[in-house]
Structure 1
Amino acid sequence: MFTPLIVLPVVIGFYYFADAYNRSNRETVSNYSQQALQYIGEKIDLELSKYETISKQMFNDPELQRLLMEKPKDRYEQVNLTQQIMDRMNLFFSGEERQYVRACVILTPQNRYKFGNEDPLGSTESNVPLFKMISDAGGKNVWFGPDALPIYNPVFILARSIRNYDLQEIAKLYIAIDTQMVSDLFNDTNLGQGASIQLIGVNQAILSDNGIHLVSDSERPLRITTLLKHNKWTISAVLPLRETYVIIRRMSLMAIWISLICVSIELFVTYWFGIDVIIPVRKLLVNMRLGIKGTKPEELQKFPGAVEIRELNDTFISVMFEIHHLIDEVVKNQTLKREAEIKLLQNQLSPHFLYNTLNSIRWMAMIQQQDNIKEMVDSLIKLLTYSLRNTNQLVELGEELAVLRDYVAIQKVRYQNFTFSVQVETELYKLRLLKFIVQPLIENSLIHGLSSAGQMGEIGLHAFVQNQKLHIEIADNGIGMSETDLDSLNAELRSESSEKIGLRNIHDRIRLLYGNDYGLLLDSKLQAGTRVTVVLPIISEGEREESRL
C-alpha cells in the first residue's frame, strides 16, 4: 500500500539530483576555467604592455630621434652613428623583457639598424603592405601575428612609426617577440590536464598554442574564450570532460545503490511501524480524551508499544499531573493574594497616621510661631500626599517640579550650603512623566556630589526637547567621578544585576515602560561635577502613554 508513495518520490528525487549534480559540476568547471583563462589573458596583456611601453619610450626618446635624423658624411661617421644607435637601443632591453625578443629593427630611408640575430621582415620590397600599415597608423602601435608575415616565422611583431616634432616620419620601428612567450604562459597555467589552449588572430588563424590537440571525444568538451585588450586576439581553450563525466557516473551509480538500500529499509520500517504504532496511538487518544474530561492522572492507562508512543503517553500523563499541581498552586496563590491585599490595607493606615501627626505638628508650629518648622512640615506633607498616589501614575512636569522644590526645601535644613535652579520652558510644564523619576537623582547629587565638596554647591535642572524626545538634565558642581568610575557605573546600568539600586531602578523602570530607546545617560568629570540626563518620550496632556510605546 505504501510502496508507491515511497519508491516514486525516491526515483523522482534521484533523477533531479543527478541532473542538478551534472549541471552544477559542469557549471563549476566552466566558471573556474573561465576565471583561469581570464587570468592567462591578463598575464599576456601585461607582457604585451611591457613591450608597448618600450616602444613608446623609444618613440619619445629625443636622443634616439636626434641620432636617426643625422646624415653621416662618410663611412666612418656611418659606423659611429650605427654604434651609437645600437647602444641606445640596448638601453631599452636591459630587463627580463629581453628573454623573448628575437629582434628590434629601426628602418630609416638611409639605413636599417638591427638589435638581435635576425630580421623577421627581411627585405623592404616584400613587406610593402606591412610598412604601409605601420605608416598609416600615425605613430600608434600595430600588432602582426605570424600569419601576417610573408614567410612564416613564429614571432609577434609590434611596430610603429617614429616621428619628429613636426609629425614627419623619420623611421619605422618593429620588435619581434618569440611566440614561445605565450606558449610558456599557457604551460604554466593549471587550467586542467589535457586542456588545449590556442591564441587566435583576428582572421581566425592560430598564432600560438600549448602543443595539445584534442582528438575526437565521445563526450561533449567544454569550450571557453576570452579576448585580449591590446590587439583583439582571442584565447580559446577546449577542456575534455571525460574525468568529470566518469565522476558523475560513479556518483549516479552510488546514488542508485543508496536509493535501493534506503527503499528496502523504508519498506521494512514501514511494515513494523504499521504493527507497532497504530494500536498504541489509539490508546493514547483514549487517554487524552479521558484527561480532557477530568480523569485523575493516576487512573490513566499505560501500555506497551513503540518507544516514541510510550514516551508520548508518559509525557501526557506527566503533563496532567503538572496541570493538577498547577491548579492547586493557583488556588493557594489566590489565597495568599487575598491575604496580601488585606495586609496592604492594614499597612496603608501607617502613612495616614503619619500624615495626621504631621498636621498636628504643623498647627503647633503655627501656634508657637515657628515658621521654619511650619514650612518644613508643609513641604513634608505635600511630599507624603504626593507619594500616597499610585506610583505608576503619570503626572505633569510642572507638578513634579513643584514637589522637587518641596523636597529641596526639606534638604536645605540638612545641606544648607547649596542652591537649586530650574530652567524649563513654560510649554513643557504640561508634558507628562512618571512620578519620582527626578527626585532620586537630586538626592544622589546631594549625598554623593555635594556633601564632600568644599565649596558652594549648585544643582541645576534643565528640560528640553531634542530628536522628538524629552530630555531632563540634572547637573551639579560636586566632586564628580573618574573616567574609570564612570565606565563602571555605565556598565552596571547595562548589567543584569547591579549594586546601584537607585539608578538601576529608574533606568529599568523607564526602559520597561517605554523601550530601549529611553533611560538614563551619565556624564561626569573628576572635580568638575556630574550630569545625569533622563530621556523620556513626549506625552502630552490627555494622551495615553501606550501610544508612545
Structure 2
Amino acid sequence: MKRLKLLSWRRWRLQTKLIFLYIPLIVFPTMLGFYFFTSAYNTSNRNTATTYSQSVIQYMSEKIDSQLSHYETVSRQIFDDPELQQLLTQAPKTQYEIMNHKNQLNNRLDILVTTSDRKYIRAIVFLTPIGHYVYGEEADYKDQQPEFLSTISNNGGSVEWFPPLQFQSISKTFTAFRLARSIRNFDLKEIGKMYMVIDAKLLQDIFNESKLSKEAAIQIISENDSHKQIIVSNNKPEFGQGRKPIIIENALIHNEWSLAASLPLDELYTTISKMTQLAVLITLICIAMALLATYFIVIDVILPIKKLMQNMRLGIKGRNPSSLIKFRGAREIIELNDTYISLMYEIYNLIGEVVKNQAKKREAEIKLLQNQISPHFLYNTLNSIRWMALIQKQDNIKEMVDSLTKLLSYSIRNTDELVTIGEEIDVLKDYAKIQKVRYQDFIFATEIEEGLESVYTLKFLIQPLIENALLHGLSSINWTGIIHLKVRRDSDVLLIQVMDNGIGMDEDTLENLQSNLKQKSGMRESKHIGLTNIHERVRLHFGERFGIKISSEYKKGTSVNLYLPLISTIEERDFSYENGNDR
C-alpha cells in the first residue's frame, strides 16, 4: 500500500508531472509521425520507382524487339534477292573468277546492308556447296558444328536466333549473336545457308541508353525447358541483391526471351536512414526544449508557489504581515501573493480593532456596575419619600416617586444587557410620567408592530432618544409637543423611530451632527453626547451595519431612526451581524 501511495499521481511534484507529460507528448507524436511519414515516403517512392522502371523496361523491350525485327528484315531482303541467289549458285574456277565473284557479292551486300546496319553487323556468312563466303570481319564463327547446321536446315527458311558466343578475330575477342536461315531458290530447294553475326554491344548500348539507376542490373533471359539462361547482361553481378530490390521482367517477342531488371533501393533506404537520424535529433532537441521549458516553469511558477505556501504558513501562525516575503515569478502568482499579504494586513488590523472594541465594551460594563451603587441608595431614599407622601396624602408626589422607583428598580434588578421591547417601553412610559411634571404640555405616543414586543434590544437604549427630544426639541416651543415612538420591521432589521414636532435643526447643525456620528469615537465633539454614545454602543455590540440616522427640518421636527438586529432569543445575542450592506 505504501508503494501504491508513492506511485499515486496526486503525490507527485509538479515538475515531475510536467516532465512525465512533456516527454510522451513530444516523443510519441514525433516517432509516430516519423513512422507514418517514412512509411508513406517509402511506399510512394517504391511505387513511383516501380512505375517508372516498368515504363523504361517496356520501352527497352520494344526497342530491342524493333532492332531484332529490323535485322530479320535485312536477312529477308538478302534471302529474297535474286541477283544474290544467282551469285551464290555460280562456281568460279580460276583465282581471278573467285576474286571477281567475291567482289560482286560484296558490292551487292553493300547495297542491301546500310551503313547504320553495319555498325553492329560484324559479318554476314554464306555457306554453300560451292564455297564459303564472309562479308565483313573474318573470324572463327564456329559454323561447322553439325547441330548448328542441322538447326538451320530444319527450320525451313525461317529465322533462327542463336545465343551469343565469344568469337576470336585477328585483333580481338568479341561476343555476338548469330541470326541464321537457309537460302532457297524459287523451287524451295536449299542452295545454301546464311547467318548474320550481330555484335552483343547492340544490347549493351540499349541498356546504357536507358535512364534507370546506374546500380540497376539488366539481363536478357532465355527460358528453355523451365531452365533460365542469361543471354546478355550489363555486367552487374548483384542481380536481386540489396534491401528489398524492385525486380521487373518483361517478355520479348523473339525467341522466348525476356528482359529483366533489378533496381536496388539502397539509396532510398540511405535517405530514410538519414531522415531517421534527423528525426532522432529533432526528438532530442524537442526533449531538451521541453526540459528547458520545465525549468522555466519551475523558476516562474513552482518556486513562487512554494514561497507563497511559506507565506501562508507564516500567516496561519499569526506572524506580522510585515515579515511576509515578496518574490519574483509569474505575474498571476505575484498578484496572488500581494493580495494575500493585503488580506493579512486587513485581518491584522481587524483583530486590533476587535481587541480595542472588546476593551471598550469591558470598560463600559465596569462603569455600569460601578454606577449601580448609587441607584440602590436612591431607591431606599425614594421609598422613604413615598411613605411620607402617603402619610401627607400627596398623590401626585406618590405617582412621581413610584415611576422613579420603577426606573431605579429596572436598572438594578435586570443586570443583563438585553431586554425585551415591551419592558423597555414600559420603563419609557414611567419616564414620560416623570418628565410631564416638568414639561406638562406634551404627548408621548407609542406604536409597536405586532409580534415585536418580545424582540430583544439593549437596555436603556431608547430613553436617551426620548430625553433628547424633550430637551432639544420640545423645550423651546409654544405649541403642544408630540413624541411618537414607532417600532417596526424593515426587511431583516428592527427599526425604532423617535419622531417629534419640536423646533428641529437647521441644515448646518444637522450636517455637523451627521458628520460627528461618522467620526471615530476619539475624534467626536462633546456636543450631542447622548446620541453619539447610543450610536457607539450599538456599533460596538452589533457592528458597523447598525446605528443611528437622523433627519430634521427647522421648526417642523426631528426624526431619529435607530437600526438594530432582530434578536428573537437571548442565545442570538452573540451572533455576528456584520453581514449585509451598510446602511
Q: Give the TM-score, by structure 1 length.
A: 0.43
* Bigger Rg, structure 1 or 2: 2
Q: Give the TM-score, by structure 2 length.
A: 0.41
